Amino acid sequence: MADEIGNPKIRGPKDPVKKGELVEIKSLIKHPMESGSRKDKATDALIPAHFIESVVVEYAGKQVVKATWSGAVSKDPFFSFFVKADVTGPLKMTWKDNKGQSFSAEATITVA
């Protein structure tokens, strides 16, 4: 299952944006997002819970998004949100799961 986890991606605007403009950020991460209540069809045993618990986004060193997730989120979750572009700076997104694994990805927002 290790090959089914990770490889986070985030995408923001490709071109410079105007100061104060709202920009859409899109993200995708490979993760099984098992709730712990689904059974393995072959063995009838419960599949252990394994899901992303938190997503934190920092833009230019300031936290701009914090989300708490559960096993109710679908496999390989896609997440999009808007950020007000005030300065040119890095955008870092970090996902943490209930098994202690952490994944992160970065992009840059450029303000013209």
| DSSP assignment string, 25-64 | EEEEEE---B-S-PBPTTT-PBPPPB-EEEEEEEETTEEE
What residues have CB less than 8 Å from 1, skipping those under 6 apart?
32
Does residue 94 surpass a pLDDT of 70? yes
Contact at 8 Å (CB) between 28 and 88? no
> Could you tell me the end-to-end alpha-carbon distance of the chain, in angstroms, rounded to an integer?
43
State the CATH number of the domain containing residue 98: 2.60.40.10
- Count of structural domains, the chain: 1
- Which tokens belong to 1? 């299952």
Domain that holds residue 52: 2-109
Mean pLDDT of 76-96: 98
Q: Please report the pLDDT score of residue 4 as a whole number.
A: 74
pTM: 0.90
Sequence letter at residue 52: I
- Confidence band (pLDDT; 50, 70, 90) for 77? very high
Give residue-wise pLDDT tens across range 26-66: 999 999 999 999 999 999 999 999 999 999 999 999 999 99
